Amino acid sequence: MSDGDPTVVVTRRWPEPVERQLRERFSSVQLNTDDTPFGADRLREALQQADVVLPTVSDRLPAEMFAGGVRTRFLGNFGVGFNHIDVDAAAAAGVVVTNTPGVLTDATADTAMTLVLMTARRAGEGEREVRDGRWTGWRPTHLLGSDVTGRTIGILGMGRIGSAVARRARFGFDMPVVYYDPNVTDPASAGVPDARGVGTVEEVLEQADVVSLHMPGGAGNSRLIDAERLARMKATAFLINTARGDIVDTGALVKALSNGTIAGAGLDVYDTEPEVPEALRALPNAVLLPHLGSATWQTRVAMGEMVLDNLTAFLEGRPPPCRVA
Ligand code: DGY
């Protein structure tokens, strides 16, 4: 690390209040004022030239980015999920990596519930109909969806966000909760004492009317929801993904939505985002959001402040509170 003021590169635009704090704190900070994605070359350059790089989920930082050594000593990810960073390679290159857990839990859980309701109640289809001028008036059989209240929600991954979704579903919509998470032995710790833990992913898929995914992306969970597992779901069930796109086999999901294996899907994340396959975009029973999980002003400011808290700790020689590598 260079002596004195560190050079800091921020890869995307941040909300103004936290960009202001960055400008006030660091004389050598590069903000991405036009907000274009960096791409591999610019990221590689940032790692070679800056002491501190503050990336987001739109930046891919695989092992090869760290091969041969980098100047960067601190990577403060603006987000909780960090499967876009090879943290082992970063650590081996002497880079400290942090993330932003907790502050985005409620916003992301709210997005999951938005998708539950939009998917079950066909809100996207209805909205497009009104906008396109195709609505012909109220009728008893128009765009009938499924009840949400009282139906069973299945949570895969009962961590912070999974638990927050479970609480919303249980106490807001009277939904019984079934979950799979080998790390959670007491559902009371998730705030839903009567949630029922089961021993396999399959049991959740078979029992739930709505399945919501809340595990990290990356190697261990890649394509966890494949054709075989989709076939275990009820034909009337909905799949909700606000976690990471690679957890679901997109080709298998398109088939399952087309042939009625499941009733619908609500997605906020995609394997190849921002590209979303045309086959998926063509399906009326898929509700598709552009990775909005944590997208509220309050949450994004809190995320920026958390990155800054971690960076401050690092620069002052204290352990960053949210260190992941
Ligand atoms: C998160 O915080 O993980 C969001 O998905 C954005 O990266």
The owner of tokens 């790390």 is: 183
Distances in Å between the alpha carbon of 185 and those of 86, 102, 168, 307? 30, 21, 20, 31
ipTM given for this complex: 0.96
Ligand 1 nearest-atom number relative to CA 294: 4
**Domain residue ranges of the chain, discontinuous segments joined by +:** 8-103+297-315, 105-288
Ligand 1 nearest-atom number relative to CA 242: 5
Q: How confident is the prediction for the chain on average, in pLDDT?
A: 97
Q: What band does 2 get if pLDDT is binned at 50, 70 and 90?
A: low
| Superfamily covering domain 8-103+297-315 | NAD(P)-binding Rossmann-like Domain (3.40.50.720)
Residue 41 clears pLDDT 70, i.e. is over it: yes
Q: Is ligand 1 within 6 A of the CB of residue 112?
A: no
pLDDT of residue 4: 75
Q: Using one digit for the tens of pLDDT, what is the confidence trace for 133-189?
A: 999 999 999 999 999 999 999 999 999 999 999 999 999 999 999 999 999 999 999
| CATH code for residues 105-288 | 3.40.50.720
Q: Is ligand 1 within 6 A of the CB of residue 187?
A: no
Coil, strand, or helix at residue 185?
Answer: coil
pLDDT of residue 107: 98
| Crossing angle between the packed helical segments 105-120 and 160-167, to the nearest 10 degrees | 50
Please determine whether the domains at 8-103+297-315 and 105-288 fall in the same fold group of CATH. Answer: yes
